[in-house]
Chains A and B, each alone.
Chain A
Amino acid sequence: MEEGERVVKIQKDTEEVEHKQQEIWSWGAGTDGQLGTGKLEDEHTPQFLINLSNSISSFGHISLLSCGGAHVIALTSDGKVLSWGRGASGQLGHGEKLDFKLDFCFVLFFCHQKLTPPDSGCLFTCGDGSFGQLGHGDYHSCSSPMEVLFFNSKHVEQVACGMRHTLVLSKGNIEAYLCWLSLLVAGNTGEKVYGFGSGKRGQLGVSEDKIKSLSFPEPCSGIQGAEVVAVFANGDQSAALSADGCLYTWGRGFSSNSNTCIPQSLPSTLYFKQAALGWNHALILTSEDEVFMLGGSNHGVLSEPQKTIHLHNVSGKSNFSKVTGLGEKKVVQIAAGAEHSAIVTGQLENGQIYSWGWGEHGQLGLGGINDHTVPQLVMAEDNSMISKVYCGSGFTFALRQSLDC
């Protein structure tokens, strides 16, 4: 270990992992300040966010990033929350309906919260609530994180946000709860998926009947039997992964067919361990570290519509096929924006990013604005040590280990 190098040891599951100083990079659509560069411009090549990286390093490192339409929320290793980008709906959680385009700001609400073990597993939401997607039982927007009281007696494991809806994975206790249809007693203690917000495309998965919207969480039907380990949402799409490697999807769907109102299992002998949703495509990672795409007949041809004719699946069913062009590379992580894809291959010092799909805003990070239908290596000259990639609607973030050693 050389002098001057900062090493942060964190506990990751049962392993201890050493993290060198973390670098944060971003590229893509940037006119709302979502890239964190301090400028309101798109970037077509990866930008090293030196200010953000240095500031965060004094608080540890980023353990999780979540990218929305034009804003980003970051969780640091010591439990602090930062946000930046568009904030006109209150989505930054700073207490005002203001953008934070030229800088980033701590969400002070969470700095002051002491969430001790009994309190953990609570869900807080803020931002646009016009479709009931905040889950507070009304259609109001909120500019500070407000607790979703429905989950007070439950333990929230995960939350996923689509364009106008929210999915929650939680562990419930044996209890009685009142939903807007009837009084029910929850008999099982297993994981349950709940949906709220806009339901016009079936993305809530709670009923065969058409639902315009829900402002209060309702359980998704059709997957109670499965042990759900992860939920995903983007656009009007919803998905869940079960412990036995099945993928369930519902919502608008990935073909020209009509909406699916109840979770449907994707027929396959493959074991799926990770998923990432776009607005019209999904990436799915198998246990063999291969990535498949569901839908995406327009993926990489948005700027050249005449090419769509050749890719469209005429049977009407969603296209499901392995992503080509990666050779034998093992894919370790997948991410999807609205209309682009990004993956990480290899681990630690071998981590590299490939991206493809819509490129008009530079979200592919390849230096141009062309679309690509096949994965392209990003940062080709200096391309390793990538640990994580995240996608917002039209932009991409990457975390990388510092090369200083």
Chain B
Amino acid sequence: MSYDDVEIEDMEWNEELQAYTYPCPCGDLFQITKEDLRLGEEIARCPSCSLYLTVIYNLEDFADNSKQNTNFQHSKQQLISVA
């Protein structure tokens, strides 16, 4: 069961950990990366214990920019795949 629900605005970006963080009651930090959020992950885990948070956020705010552009292409463009 999730320890708490926390809005992404209430989490702090930690440059060293490269993750959004929120204090855990054990003294460590709940963490979730931008990559997690981009993939629609909702769980922020604590590296020290079994507790976790549910993060509340808009998926659109973290969606991949290149994927967004593809939807609005008007001209015919060939998608180039890179090996």
Contact = CB atoms under 8 A, between A and B. Distances in A.
Interface string A315-347: 000000000000000000000011100000000
Contacts of A305: 1
Contacts of B3: 302
Contacts of B51: 302, 360
Interface stretch (B24-32, B60-68, B71-79): B24-32
B10 A394 contact: no
A99 interface: no
B12 interface: yes
Interface stretch (A27-35, A181-189, A220-228): A27-35
B27 A395 contact: yes
Contacts of B10: 200
A22 B28 CA distance: 30
Nearest to A304: B1
Nearest to B22: A163
B1 A29 contact: no
B18 interface: no
Contacts, number: 48
Interface residues of A, number: 26
Contacts of B48: 29, 31, 361
Interface string B2-42: 01000000101000100000011111100000000000000
B1 A393 contact: no
B27 A394 contact: yes
A136 interface: no
B28 A31 contact: yes
B59 interface: no
Contact of A303 (B23, B24, B50): B50
Contacts of A31: 27-28, 48
B10 to A, nearest CB: 7
Interface of A: 29, 31-32, 34, 69-70, 86, 88, 130, 163, 200, 279, 302-303, 305, 308, 337-339, 358, 360-361, 392-395
